[in-house]
Amino acid sequence: MKTKVAIIGSGNIGTDLMTKIVGSSKSLEMAAFVGIDPASDGLRRAAKFGVPYTSAGIGGLLKMPGFDDIRIVFDATSAKTHHHHDAVLRSHGKTLVDLTPAAIGPYTIPAVNGDANVRLPNINMVTCGGQATIPIVAAVGKVAKVRYAEIVASIASKSAGPGTRANIDEFTETTCRAICEIGGAERGKAIIVLNPAEPPMIMRDTVYCLTDEADRDAITKSVEDMVDRVQQYAPGYRLKQAVQFESVKLRVPELGGDACGLKTSVFLEVQGAGHYLPTYAGNLDIMTCAALQIGEKVAVRA
């Protein structure tokens, strides 16, 4: 029997996740889709799929006939709103998978620590940039201690809806913390770029790691193995070019001054699956792919 789930948020991320669950999940069943705009395309799609839905927000969810049978709730709204949702739904014994940068629950990236938090009441999926880049920081960290890691996530401006734009500050703060807590770096920095180019470009990510001199072949192998792991649930994730290395001496304010060592540069791109969103919106696709992966792990461990 499939585990019944709900999604709150009828925007791009919530609708794409619903489409994935309806179309491919072997362990999850859509029991409710929740929005606040009756005219949203997401709610229209829910009706088309035959998924129970409400435009009355979380209050409407609580009143739905099948609410008691729902075990997992995916929150695809905003960091601020998630705090309220967590307080309400946790009191009803629901497991929350948080696709906002609220970071109430522990940071979770399937390829890095996907099994560690599946029994907890709130699981945070970091950010799209975090899902794409932190696995690489962790891969480098398996070979050498990462003293500093910097990630730059460049996404198509058209893929950044109102929810994404409202969360920009939380994006940088949450990703930066997760670079250290999950990636293992001593210090970290996260930058997001909304690229207005036409036609829209797919998600591009750059990861810089500073370590002491280390085995470059071992780092390359670790990075390539990690890319393979991420591809198991996000097939559009790939290396754009070979891993680059440079022995450097540079000024890193986050480390308090000059630093010497090995600079590892990794260049990635993420192409979306095109289930609901355009294929250039790899930033949103990797979030929904990761959330689906964690939701299925929670269901298996029920």
Mean pLDDT along residues 38-44: 97
Residue tagged active-site, from 128, 176, 209, 289: 128
The model carries a pTM of: 0.95
Bridge partners of 52? none
Q: Which domains does the chain have, with CATH numbers?
A: 3-126+285-300 (3.40.50.720), 128-278 (3.30.360.10)
In which band, very low, low, confident or very high, does the pLDDT at 302 lie, cut at 50, 70 and 90?
Answer: low
Angle at which helix 12-24 crosses helix 41-49, to 10 degrees, equals 10
Q: Residue 252 and residue 121: Cα distance in Å, rounded?
A: 38
For this structure, is 209 an active site residue?
A: no
Task: Flag whether pLDDT at 158 surpasses 90.
Answer: yes
Q: Residue 83 and residue 278: Cα distance in Å, rounded?
A: 30
Task: Flag whether pLDDT at 273 surpasses 90.
Answer: yes
